[in-house]
Amino acid sequence: MTAQIIDGKAIAKQCRKALKGRVKEFTEQYGHAPGLGVILVGDDPASAVYVRNKEKACEKVGINSFHRDLPATATQEQVAAIIDEMNADDRVHGILLQLPLPKGLDEQAMLARIHPDKDADGFHPINAGYLAVGKEGYVPCTPKGVMTLIESTGQSIEGAHAVVIGRSNIVGKPQAQLLLGKNATVTVCHSRTRNLPEVVAQGDIVVAAVGRPEMVKGDWIKEGAIVIDVGINRRDDGTLCGDVDYDAAAERAGWITPVPGGVGPMTIAMLLENTLEGAIRKAESR
Ligand code: NAP
Ligand code: LUD
């Protein structure tokens, strides 16, 4: 079998087009545009690129963005002060604190400082709790985008065996919750998992979120599986690759996402969607 490519770039473009219409309606109805507050701490070059792409995407769909930069030497109090300002700013409906933070800053404390109603990334413990108990709240952008990519195949998630590799708070764990919410049978793998290839081989759906270049080999993949590669790794020559050995996996999978052009663009589209949804919730609660 040769896999069909899931074109995340094209699907994200469709999402942004639909969002642009909804943002326009919102802005006409309420007299102000949705707004995203963006906080970048330190000088990680990849973070700077992602943040710039997110701000450009906001602009294209009509969402305002409010950018604050802090140096790598910033203190916890300085980051907290910016978050507090954005929490209090009525023009800001969603707040993005780009990760990772420079060493020495307490990521969990900073994420918990963001008002849960403005938590466009869905990383606040309250929103993580809502996801765990199946209550409506903000859903983290990457796993939310992955669900859209899986649904684009037209295959049923209910009853399927989904194998998630990785258990981070930003991808693996919320991904497992979302798949469980759609009635998949979910296995979550991590660095202590025994016989990983055998576990992955059971997956009708495989989501790889590890951060190790091409770690998932083609012969681990079940014939016809849906393979979603969340990994973004930079090779020594500067090119990007995922966590899956794409060429070999594509020979067995039914569907597969490329890197770049798979999950990454969806993460950005979902951030825009969460920001709009936050603005709608706020406007409707007045
Ligand atoms: P992370 O916090 O570093 O978590 C990695 C997970 O992989 C951990 O749970 C770890 O297990 C597990 N792991 C490490 N080595 C393993 C091994 N040999 N076998 C099985 N599992 C192993 O990473 P993350 O933030 O979830 O990100 C994962 C990847 O996705 C990275 O490449 C990141 O750049 C990318 N990413 C992409 C997007 C996007 O929009 N495309 C968004 C977010 C992240 P332990 O828990 O046991 O340590
Ligand atoms: N922090 C994220 N840190 C890193 N790739 C992203 C990402 C788009 N607070 C917070 O945005 O959701 C987040 N919230 N994350 N990430 C990773 C993670 C965060 C990574 C890649 C891309 C977002 C992306 O657009 C392109 C693609 O895969 O096609 C390639 C871009 C390139 O470098 O060429």
Q: Which residues' Cβ are closer than 6 Å to ligand 2?
A: 49-50, 53, 96-99, 121, 141-142, 232, 240, 259-261, 264-265, 267-268
**Half-sphere exposure at residue 43, Cβ-oriented, CA atoms within 13 angstroms:** 3
Query: Average of pLDDT values for 164-178?
Result: 98
Say how far apart CA 244 and CA 241 lie, in whole Å. Answer: 8
CB 26 within 8 A of CB 279: yes
Query: Average of pLDDT values for 64-89?
Result: 98
- Ligand nearest 196 Cα, by number? 1
Query: Average of pLDDT values for 125-149?
Result: 98
Q: Which two tokens stand for residue 3?
A: 């896999």
Q: What phi and psi values does residue 188 have, to the nearest 5 degrees?
A: -110, 120
Catalytic residue of the set 117, 118, 119, 121? 121
Per residue in 179-209, pLDDT (tens digit) is: 999 999 999 999 999 999 999 999 999 999 9
User: pLDDT value at position 1?
Assistant: 74
DSSP state of 118: G
pTM: 0.98
- Percent of the chain's residues with pLDDT above 70: 100
User: pLDDT value at position 66?
Assistant: 98
Q: Look up 98 and say whether it is catalytic.
A: yes
Side chain identity, residue 18: A
Substitution candidate for ligand 2 out of 175, 228, 267, 268 with most atoms within 8 A of CB: 267
Say how far apart CA 136 and CA 149 lie, in whole Å. Answer: 21
Residue 212 has pLDDT above 80, yes or no: yes
User: pLDDT value at position 18?
Assistant: 98
Say how far apart CA 234 and CA 264 lie, in whole Å. Answer: 14
Average pLDDT, the chain: 97
Query: Average of pLDDT values for 76-104?
Result: 98
**pLDDT band for position 177 (50/70/90)?**
very high
> Separation of 111 CA from ligand 2 center, angstroms?
18
Say how far apart CA 168 and CA 254 lie, in whole Å. Answer: 26
**Strands, E assignment, the chain:** 4-5, 35-41, 64-70, 94-97, 161-165, 185-189, 205-208, 226-229, 233-234, 240-241, 255-256
Question: What is the chain's Cα-based Rg?
Answer: 19
> Separation of 237 CA from ligand 2 center, angstroms?
20
3-state secondary structure of 8: helix
Say how far apart CA 89 and CA 37 lie, in whole Å. Answer: 9
Q: What phi and psi values does residue 76 have, to the nearest 5 degrees?
A: -55, -40
Q: What phi and psi values does residue 50 have, to the nearest 5 degrees?
A: -60, -45
Substitution candidate for ligand 1 out of 123, 230, 233 with most atoms within 8 A of CB: 230
User: pLDDT value at position 97?
Assistant: 98
**Half-sphere exposure at residue 50, Cβ-oriented, CA atoms within 13 angstroms:** 23
What domains can you pick out in the chain, each with its CATH number? 30-116 (3.40.50.10860), 141-264 (3.40.50.720)
DSSP state of 220: G
User: pLDDT value at position 205?
Assistant: 99
Residue 286 has pLDDT above 80, yes or no: no
User: pLDDT value at position 279?
Assistant: 98
**pLDDT band for position 165 (50/70/90)?**
very high
Per residue in 219-258, pLDDT (tens digit) is: 999 999 999 999 999 998 989 999 999 999 999 999 999 9
Q: What phi and psi values does residue 97 have, to the nearest 5 degrees?
A: -105, 100
